[in-house]
Structure 1
Amino acid sequence: MKRTSIFIACLICLMTINTDASENYPQIEIVTTSGAIVVELDRNRAPKTVENFLNYVESGAYIGTIFHRVIPGFVIQTGGYDVNLDEIDTLPEIINESGNGLKNQRMSLGMARTNEPHSASSQFYINLNDNFSLDPMPTRWGYAVFGDVIDGFSVVDDIASNATQTTKGFQDVPVAPIIILEVKRID
């Protein structure tokens, strides 16, 4: 009887740990016309950014958006425009969490923004290299990292290898659109 009680207690502890991990580090699958990318978010270090991203995921806002900025050796960026390069509806801008200790290193996920530090809304990018120039400095804000690619590295590299063009005032747009087909939580 004592062994059974200990076993049940251990199972409960394991279930709690797993729940905490999925809440603090949710995993998202981004299915594109080039394949699937799985990212793990860091709610502990970037809580507002992760919450913002999950709101877009849960609302379906990213479905039909394209990778509109592809710069080999730098970033691939999405989450802001559809195939006609029309801007999607966005939520209010969020506070910049770039001082959270996460770095803009290869395969990290960051929030795109304008020159205004607290202007991020829906657009995000994946770093193709270590882009530490995007990290905060004592005299300026950086670009907030809020997760990492954990699967689909070859898909990211494939997207980065696409030929690009300038169209409708946008530079670095893939000639053949790379479309997000589905985005869902998988944890």
Structure 2
Amino acid sequence: MALTDADVQKQIKHMVAFIEQEANERVEEILAKGEEEFNIEKGRLVQTHRVKIMDYYEKKEKQIEQHKKIQMSQLKNQARLKVLMARDDMVTGFYQLLEPKVTIRCRQQDVDVVQAAVNKNISIYKETVKSNITVRVDQDHFLPSDICGGIEVYNSNGKIKVSNTLESRLDLVAQQMMPEIREILFGSNPNRKFLD
């Protein structure tokens, strides 16, 4: 049995249709697989970058938190030093006056700190001097707010004053250092007998 041209054409068409169908299925399969791989890769990249971004912001949050802790620690230390300085200024003033009644003047913003320090320092003074003292923080007259801090202690009638402000201490140090400053600026003078 010989095949006629029509049968051959029919078989060729059938084979071409089969090959085209196979090719289309293969193309769809390749496209589907490519899309699936693309989605997997895209998901992996998105996840990787999401993790990087989250890590970055976690580090930033930790840095901010650490910075806040450092600032809080510095503020606490400054407050503690302020209290210690007020206490030292106060006790020094009490010792210099040795009066039974004293009045303290401070900056208006330091009143609470000074009042707290007064309560602690009275007992220290009483133990050391073995004498009672009455302390009043002046609520009517304040030191200028532009000074750096400190207190002034007055006796009961206000005639004797001990100034323990930073400015007064710097003036005292400047006067004490005057001979050294003079020598640095102008050199030593062989004719000078007194070095004050």
What TM-score, normalized by structure 2, do the two folds share?
0.26
Larger helix share, 1 or 2: 2
- Greater radius of gyration (CA): 2
Identify the structure with bigger relative contact order (alpha carbons < 8 Å, sequence gap 6+).
1
What TM-score, normalized by structure 1, do the two folds share?
0.27
